[in-house]
Structure 1
Amino acid sequence: MFTYKIDDLSYLSLLEIQDADKLYKLINRNREHIGEWLKFPSMTLKVEDSQAFIERTRISYAKEEGYWLGIWNEDQLVGSIGYLYIDKENKKTEIGYWLGKEYEGKGLITKSVIELINHAFDKYKLNKIEIGAATENRRSRAIPEKLGFKQEGELRDYEYIQGRNLNRIIYGLKASEWRSK
């Protein structure tokens, strides 16, 4: 198992099958909070759903097609972050993330995104990273805005979640922009 240290109390690591119960409980405890903006809580109905997700992400990791990591703080699983895909041909990826409500405000997502940005540009030699967030999800949108991503557009009615259509803002960051900071 590999880990990326993000501060003295926190790290990122590839999720393992034995993490499925912790992952499920975190999602279940935050179902309404996360489900306001993301679809996966409505599809995570039992521990086996979390196990299947972890198995899929480990296969994607092995193929270098994208993967999800657990965000750990004081040895507690507090959220997840990952590359939705890794497009080697076009040299780009998209980062997604979520955090349990009780762990917000500690800078964990910002620090985690920085780790994935550096990894994408340094290890995978990608040229561009995208982040998408629901237009009304100000907390999620604040991350790419703070890190220098450029707003590239808005996709109308991108997703249908909890009985409403959500627009999505797409942010982009090029390697040259990140390195010039």
Structure 2
Amino acid sequence: MYKATIDSETHLAILEPRHAKELYQVIDDSRETIGEWLSFPSHTNKVDDTAAFIKKSLKRLAENNGYWAGIWHNGRIAGSIGFLYIDWSAKKTEIGYWLGDEFTGKGLAAKALSQFIDHSFNDLGLRKIEVNTASKNLRSRTIPEKLGFTQEGTIRNYEYLNGEYHDRVIYGLLKEEWHLPIK
């Protein structure tokens, strides 16, 4: 999947080096909000950091072990979604996602995740997808719940972030549980 159209205003595309500056700007503009639940904003301090992330993602794509795509809305990068890894022997993956502050509340993450799920099962032949979210990140948790994922468990004290421990809720979706993508 190099580019996937979600609707007339939104599409996904593999992140490329030319996107580093715009992606960095979205992270920088939303640093506090994204950083409440994810650690990467604390070590994304310049455009070169974002460029290095994109380079690493393209390497993983070339190695057939995951990648990150940008979520574009009305011609602007709104956030990102990606396969953290692909376990080809178990035919499973974990998908992560985030949006800049300006783009939340529009259903973009759910639509992007729906597209990635469909791609995972129908194009890549995977059997299971996991999404892991901080237990207190209720906005992020509603997305896999809305898409039919099953809460499979909680890892206590999964991550130490912003001076406190965060539990991580694990959601799973099997291929036979997947229904139609959200448009």
Q: Would you say same fold, with TM above 0.5? A: yes
- For residues 57 and 160 of structure 1, what CA distance do their matches in structure 2 show? 25
Q: Secondary structure at the match of 1:50?
A: helix
Q: In 1, distance between residues paired with 2:123 and 2:10?
A: 22
Q: How many equivalent residue pairs?
A: 181
- In structure 2, distance between residues paired with 1:72 and 1:160: 31
Q: Deviations over 1:115-154 (max 9, x none)?
A: 1001111111111000000000000000000000000000
Hey, what's the Cα distance between the residues in 1 that align with 2:9 and 2:45? 30
Query: What does residue 151 of structure 2 align with?
Result: 151
CA-atom RMSD in angstroms: 1.4
Secondary structure class of the residue paired with 1:64: coil
What are structure 2's unaligned runs of at least 5 residues? none
Query: Distance in 2 between the 1:99 and 1:76 partners?
Result: 12
What is the correspondence of 1:19-168 to structure 2 with a 5 Å cutoff?
19-168=19-168
Among the aligned pairs, what percent are the same residue?
51
Distance 1:22 1:180, change over 3 A: closer
Q: TM-score, normalised on structure 2?
A: 0.96
Structure 1: 4+ residue segments shifted above 3 A: none
How far has the Cα of 1:179 moved from its partner? Answer: 4.7
For residues 87 and 170 of structure 2, the distance between their equivalents in structure 1, rounded to whole angstroms, comes to 17
1:2 Cα deviation after fit: 2.5
Counterpart of 1:172? 172
Counterpart in the other structure of 1:5:
5
Give the letter for the 2:58 counterpart.
Answer: R
Give me the TM-score of the superposition, normalised by structure 1. 0.97
Give the residue type in structure 2 aligned to 1:163.
G
Take 1:53 and 1:12, find their aligned partners in 2: how far apart are those partners? 17
Runs of at least 5 residues in structure 1 that lack an aligned partner in the other structure: none
Q: Deviation digits for residues 82-122 of structure 1, max 9, x if unmatched?
A: 11001001110001000011111111111100110011111
